[in-house]
Amino acid sequence: MRFTYIIAAGFLFSCNQNKAMEKLTVYPFRLKPGQDLKIEIQNLANEKQIKAGWISTCVGSLTNYKIRFANQPEASSDTGHFEIVSLTGTVSTNGSHLHISISDSTGKTIGGHLMEGCKIYTTAEIVILCSNEFVFKREKDGTTPWEELQVEKIKD
């Protein structure tokens, strides 16, 4: 009985969301050993002309990491075997902003700003969602010294 309820609730939810779902595109892909996580995500964004995307999920592993930790001017790096436990952020042909968390063989977990130099160990299974209703841009707006996310709604 519980199983039926879950299916029914999911069906009602999906029916109510049809219009919104029509405006989403899904890009599932897999990276292989030796590929650079950040470079390949940006390559996909450029190839598919993603203007407003975000990471839905990512699992996998790295042999090298290069991460810039909070409020640090330079990235930290190491080699070994690391599990990707989280990847989140915005993806666009106009620039992406991604944060990653990884854990080592003891479970120690670190995270920060994803930099080029994170090399895939066995795999990275990634799903990017994108909307055709918006354009994500990265521009200085005077609130910080960095180029920050600017969201533009595309007129119908």
Structure tokens at 20: 């919104």
In this prediction, residue 155 carries a pLDDT of 84
Q: In the chain, what percentage of residues exceed pLDDT 70?
A: 86
- Please write the tens of the pLDDT for every residue from 99-109: 999 999 999 99
pLDDT (0 to 100) of residue 17? 52
**What is the rounded average pLDDT for all residues in the chain?**
89
Q: How confident is the model at residue 122 (pLDDT cuts 50, 70, 90)?
A: very high
Tell me how far apart the alpha carbons of residues 104 and 110 are, in angstroms, rounded to a whole number. Answer: 9
> pTM value?
0.85
**Average pLDDT of span 11-35:** 74
Rounded to an integer, the average pLDDT of 82-107 is 98
Q: Of 140, 58, 129, 146, which is closest to residue 92 (Cα–Cα)?
A: 129
Binned at pLDDT 50, 70 and 90, residue 14 comes out as: very low
54-77 per-position pLDDT tens digit: 999 999 999 999 999 999 999 999
Q: Of 102, 40, 44, 95, which Cα lies nearest the Cα of 69? A: 102
In order of start, what are the domains of the chain with their CATH numbers? 24-153 (3.30.1330.80)
